[in-house]
Homo-oligomer: A and B are copies of this chain.
């Protein structure tokens, strides 16, 4: 569920007055204006909000038409040109669109997020400030066993009883860790001393016992080309659920921002597939009636590749 949530106000740290509506000569994406400063809840204490953006579908075309110059007479159709750019991986026009997000997320998700290096970010600093007492607890339906066949994934969901036990343990530990944090700081969440008679240890040290589930915040800014790369990896079913749910929310926002680009992104990238040299040779011969899936090994496909090809082609 997504809404301008009065219970999730902009945190004090970023508590500048919200901007009023104002006039601009810049490109405006009508579908995106409704997202500016609107906070969407993600996970139990997290959120995501658009703070600023630049560009729209038309400005991508304007960038592209610069390259093609007078040579583009034939490409009158904007939608066709945008789809052509996406299909042929002409990436630079998409770099002309930029998005700035305010994100609140658990540290273990942040650690995956920052692997995307072509972005700008400013994160809440636990050297300057006290971390709020907020940590991530999975919903019971997200608590799963280790997958047997996917080294990095989840398998079956836990029983209600097992879930309850796991969550109780995780919550108990996190609460204890935060209590220790405040004891070491000798400060409550607002920085008030717990015991006037003693000093707290340095914030940069007290934090080292906090769990990876602790929530942090950042401003994160990237261009649309790099955003699509982020989404290809993080909105993918193999991504960990806790980052995927952020990616899915961003994909929804993107559809309101650059709708034609988003449709092309789905058609030519997210829902496209790649055939290797070997896959291609086999499929060609299958279409020509000269081979069957059973012949895959003769074309150089491993068992795993054969299985994956069969899945993708519905065989």
Copies of this chain held together in the complex = 4
Q: CA–CA, A114 to B92, complex, Å?
A: 14
Question: A70 and B275: CB pair below 8 A?
Answer: no
A residues in contact (CB < 8 Å) with B: 12-14, 16, 19-28, 33, 36-37, 51-55, 58-59, 61-72, 80, 87, 92-93, 95-96, 98, 100, 102, 106-108, 110-111, 114-115, 117-118, 120-125, 127-130, 136, 138, 142-147, 151-156, 158, 166, 169-170, 173-174, 176-177, 180, 183-185, 191, 199-205, 207-214, 217-219, 221, 223, 240, 266-268, 271-280, 283-284, 286-288, 300, 302, 305, 312-315
Q: CA–CA, A200 to B147, complex, Å?
A: 10
Max chain B Cβ within 10 angstroms of own Cβ: one of A24, A61, A147: A24
Q: Using Cβ atoms and an 8 Å threshold, which residues of chain B touch A174?
A: 209
- When A203-B146, A271-B277 are in contact, do A52 and B26 touch as well, CB less than 8 Å? yes
Q: Using Cβ atoms and an 8 Å threshold, which residues of chain B touch A305?
A: 87
- When A62-B14, A169-B184 are in contact, do A284 and B313 touch as well, CB less than 8 Å? yes
Q: Using Cβ atoms and an 8 Å threshold, which residues of chain B touch A12?
A: 70
Question: A145 and B273: CB pair below 8 A?
Answer: no
Question: A146 and B66: CB pair below 8 A?
Answer: no
Q: CA–CA, A209 to B66, complex, Å?
A: 22
Question: B25 and A146: CB pair below 8 A?
Answer: no
- When A24-B28, A53-B54, A70-B12 are in contact, do A152 and B127 touch as well, CB less than 8 Å? yes
Question: A152 and B128: CB pair below 8 A?
Answer: yes
Q: Using Cβ atoms and an 8 Å threshold, which residues of chain B touch A208?
A: 106, 108, 136, 170, 211-213
Q: CA–CA, A300 to B53, complex, Å?
A: 31
Question: B280 and A283: CB pair below 8 A?
Answer: no
Q: How far is the CB of A43 from chain B (nearest CB, A)?
A: 12
Question: B129 and A68: CB pair below 8 A?
Answer: yes
Q: CA–CA, A72 to B12, complex, Å?
A: 11
- When A170-B209, A272-B274 are in contact, do A96 and B68 touch as well, CB less than 8 Å? no
Apart from the given pairs A69-B124, A152-B203, 14 other A-B contacts in the complex at a CB distance below 8 Å: A14-B62, A24-B28, A66-B102, A66-B124, A68-B151, A127-B153, A147-B202, A155-B202, A166-B184, A169-B183, A170-B209, A209-B212, A273-B275, A287-B315
Q: CA–CA, A126 to B156, complex, Å?
A: 19
Q: CA–CA, A276 to B270, complex, Å?
A: 9
Q: CA–CA, A26 to B34, complex, Å?
A: 11
Residue of B nearest to A171 (CB): B209
Q: How far is the CB of A56 from chain B (nearest CB, A)?
A: 10
